[in-house]
Chain A
Amino acid sequence: MIRARGLERRFGEKRVLAGLDLDVAAGGFVAVTGPNGSGKSTLLALLAGLLAPTGGELEIEARRDEVGYLAHEPLVYRELSALENLELYGRLYRVPERRERIGMLLERYGLWPARHERVSAYSRGMAQRLALCRTLLHDPSLVLLDEPYSALDADGARLLDAELAALTGERTLVVSTHDPDRVRPLATQEVSLA
Chain B
Amino acid sequence: MSGYLGDVAALARTSLLLELRQRDTVPAMVLFVVSALVVFRFSLPADASDLASLGLLWIAIVFTAILALTRAFVAERDQRVLDGLVLATGDRSAIWLGKVAGVLAFLVLAELVALPAFALFFAAVGWETVAAVALANVGIAAVGTLLAAMAAASRARELLLPLLFLPLVIPVVVGGVGASVEPDPGRYLAFLGLYDLIFAILAWASFDYVVAE
Which of chain A's residues has its CB closest to B13's CB? A88
B79 touches A75 (CB 8 A): yes
Taking the nearest CB of chain A, how far is it from the CB of B134, in angstroms? 29
CB of A89 within 8 A of CB of B84, answer: yes
With an 8 A cutoff between CB atoms, is B35 at the interface? no
Is the beta-carbon distance between B75 and A78 smaller than 8 angstroms? yes
User: Is B124's CB within 8 Å of the partner chain A?
Assistant: no
Neighbour of B80 across the interface among A71, A118, A138, CB < 8 A: A71
CB within 8 Å of A: which of B48-87?
75, 78-81, 83-87
Closest to B10 in A: A91
| Cα separation A14 to B90 with both chains bound (whole Å) | 32
Partner of B21, one of A65, A74, A79, A138: A79
Chain B residue nearest to A63 (CB atoms) is B90
What distance in Å separates the Cβ of A16 from its nearest Cβ neighbour in chain B? 14
List B contacts of A64 (CB < 8 A): 87
Residue of A50, A71, A73 ringed by the most chain B CB atoms within 10 A: A50
Given A52-B212, A75-B80, A75-B81; A80-B89 close (CB under 8 Å)? no
Residue of A nearest to B7 (CB): A92
B80 A88 Cβ-Cβ under 8 A: no
Q: Is B206 an interface residue (CB 8 A)?
A: no
**Once the chains bind, are B88 and A65 in contact (CB under 8 Å)?**
yes
A29 at interface (Cβ–Cβ under 8 A)? no
Chain B: interface size category: 20 to 34
C-alpha gap A71/B86 in the complex (Å): 14
Cβ distance A10 to chain B, nearest Cβ, rounded Å:
13
* Number of residues of chain A lying within 8 A (CB) of chain B: 28
In the complex, how many residue pairs between chain A and chain B have their CB atoms under 8 Å apart? 67
A132 within 8 A of B: no
Q: Provide the bound-state CA to CA distance between A88 and B86, in Å.
A: 13
Give Cα A123 to B167, complex, Å.
44
Please give me the residue from chain A that is nearest to B211 by CB atom. Answer: A50
Chain A window 69-83, contacts with chain B (Cβ cutoff 8 Å), 1 for yes, 0 for no: 101011111111000
Within A41-69, the residues touching B (CB, 8 Å) are 48-52, 64-65, 67, 69
C-alpha gap A118/B75 in the complex (Å): 14
A80/B14 contact (C-beta < 8 A), A51-B213, A91-B7, A92-B89 known: yes
Q: Does A134 belong to the interface (CB within 8 Å)? A: yes
Q: Choose among B18, B86, B90 the residue that contacts A77 (Cβ–Cβ < 8 A).
A: B18
A67 to B90, alpha carbons, bound, how many Å? 12
- A92-B10 Cα distance, complex, nearest whole Å: 8
The one of A50, A71, A84 that contacts B17, using a Cβ cutoff of 8 Å: A84
Cβ of B43 under 8 Å from chain A: no
Other-chain residue from B10, B18, B86, B90 in contact with A79 (beta carbon distance below 8 A): B18
What CA separation (Å) do A88 and B80 show in the bound complex?
A: 15
Query: Can you add 17 more A-B contacts, CB < 8 Å, to A51-B213, A71-B80, A78-B79?
Result: A48-B83, A48-B87, A65-B87, A65-B90, A67-B87, A73-B80, A74-B79, A75-B83, A77-B75, A79-B21, A80-B14, A88-B14, A89-B84, A91-B10, A92-B7, A92-B88, A93-B88
6 closest A-B pairs by CB = A75-B84, A92-B88, A73-B80, A79-B21, A91-B10, A93-B88
Contact surface of B with A, Cβ cutoff 8 Å: 6-7, 10-11, 14, 17-18, 21-22, 75, 78-81, 83-90, 212-213
